[in-house]
Amino acid sequence: MEADNLLVERAKNGDMAAFSELVLRHQKSLLRLAFRVVRDLQTAQDVVQESFFKAHQKLQSFEGRSAFKSWLFQITLNTAKNKLRARTFETIDTEKTPLVEAYDVEEIMMNADLKELIQDEIKKLPNKQRIALNLRIFDDLSFAEIADVMACPYDTAKANYRHALMKLRHRLSDTLSIEGWHAKQNKTLAEVDA
Amino acid sequence: MTKLEEWIDYMEGEADLKTMAKLGLLLEHSRRDREILQNLMRVRQMIELSDPALDIHEFVEDPSYMERLHARTMARIKKNPRPLATEDAKPAIEIILEPDSAGETPSNLE
């Protein structure tokens, strides 16, 4: 498989097939990323299209100092956040919004209430910590890639992730016990930490 | 760095060799440390399973759906040719942390 940077160079020289390959390669990740922010499939699709469009328009400015994927993630995150802001002022036509059916495996593995609770706790995290956590756990990015996306030093990206995880661990401790995740131990996390 | 932070680095494959060796020994001999690591792994797994994007899994994994998205994206790009290189600019970055040569400091965190 041709490396992203080679495809980018070809695309910069006007090779549309090369850019098309980049779209194919990254559109799934971008759709998931956008959906996590806007929580609506139609809007997430719009974000993906717009992000690739912007990337193509600004391709000459991409110097390859970070990975192309990180650069795309950065554009998508910004586009999704802007869409979210704009959507606040729009009326959403629910008739046109496609229904999203629950994913079976997920349903089996996790109670919907618990999922919501965890997502609520994630939402409460400070912005930078939340982004670092999402990029690491949901998008499986390395800390170097996260640092690129967040435009911050490597250690800062890692520290934001660590802080997010420690907070969630602390806040979810009761829930973990209730859900039987700690069936074999009655200790609270605080006791374990002590 | 606290012990918990070390365990997070260990779990993420980010611990250095010295720390890996130290924690490896603890795993062998300390039940409490094993519990800490197991607990961290459970929390991470739970977060992973709470991913909102799992709700659109069937769309993302549907080749025809993704083909249509790809076609629409490329159609939009082809309809609007790229400006000349000189007109290009870097994308606006909203997520900006203060540069810190010292690396990790609490002041850099929210």
Is B42 within a domain? yes
Is B37 within a domain? yes
Q: How far apart are CA A173 and CA A179, in angstroms?
A: 10
* pLDDT for residue A88: 64
Is B34 within a domain? yes
Q: Domain span at residue B10?
A: 3-50
**Within an 8 Å CB–CB cutoff, is residue B110 touching chain A?**
yes
Is B23 within a domain? yes
> CB distance B52–A36 less than 8 Å?
yes
Is B36 within a domain? yes
Distances (CA, A) of A29 to A25, A115, A141, B66: 9, 21, 11, 11
* pLDDT for residue A77: 93
Residues 22-81 of B with CB under 8 A from A: 32, 35-36, 39-40, 42-44, 46-60, 66, 69-70, 72-74, 76-78, 80
Distances (CA, A) of A100 to A29, A40, A129, A186, B52: 18, 9, 28, 38, 11
Please, what is the average pLDDT of chain A? Answer: 83
- CA proximity to A15, closest of B87, B11, B77, B105: B77
Helix (H, G, I), strand (E, B) or coil at A79: helix
Look up residue B5 and give its two tokens. Answer: 């932070």
Q: How far apart are CA A168 and CA B46, in angstroms?
A: 10
Tell me which long-range contacts A89-98 makes (C-beta under 8 A, separation of at least 24).
A92/A40, A96/A42, A97/A40, A97/A41, A97/A42, A98/A41, A98/A42
For the stretch A125-165, pLDDT in tens is 999 999 999 999 999 999 999 999 999 999 999 999 999 99
Q: How far apart are CA B37 and CA B35, in angstroms?
A: 5
Look up residue B20 and give its two tokens. Answer: 């890996």
The share of chain A scoring above pLDDT 90, in percent, equals 66
Is B66 within a domain? no
What ipTM is given for this predicted complex? 0.74
Torsion of CA B76, A140, B48, A49, to 10 degrees: 0
Q: How far apart are CA B90 and CA A61, in angstroms?
A: 6
For the stretch B4-48, pLDDT in tens is 999 999 999 999 999 999 999 999 999 999 999 999 998 999 999
- Within 10 angstroms of residue B1's Cβ, the number of other Cβ atoms is 12
Name residues whose C-beta falls within 8 Å of residue B90's C-beta, 6 or more positions apart in sequence: A58, A61
Is B79 within a domain? no
For chain B, the domain total comes to: 1
What pLDDT band is residue A50 in, cutting at 50, 70 and 90? very high
Q: How far is Cα of residue A17 from the mean position of the Cα atoms in its chain?
A: 27
Q: Which residue of B has its CA nearest to A50?
A: B73
- CA proximity to B46, closest of A47, A161, A122: A122
- Nearest by CB to B99, which of A23, A24, A153? A153
Is B19 within a domain? yes
On chain B, the residues whose CB falls within 8 A of the CB of A54 are: 91
* pLDDT for residue A177: 57
**Within an 8 Å CB–CB cutoff, is residue A178 touching chain B?**
no
* pLDDT for residue B85: 54
- CA proximity to B72, closest of A52, A37, A57: A52
Q: How far apart are CA A72 and CA A151, in angstroms?
A: 13
Look up residue B47 and give its two tokens. Answer: 């977060």
Q: Which residue of B has its CA nearest to A129?
A: B110
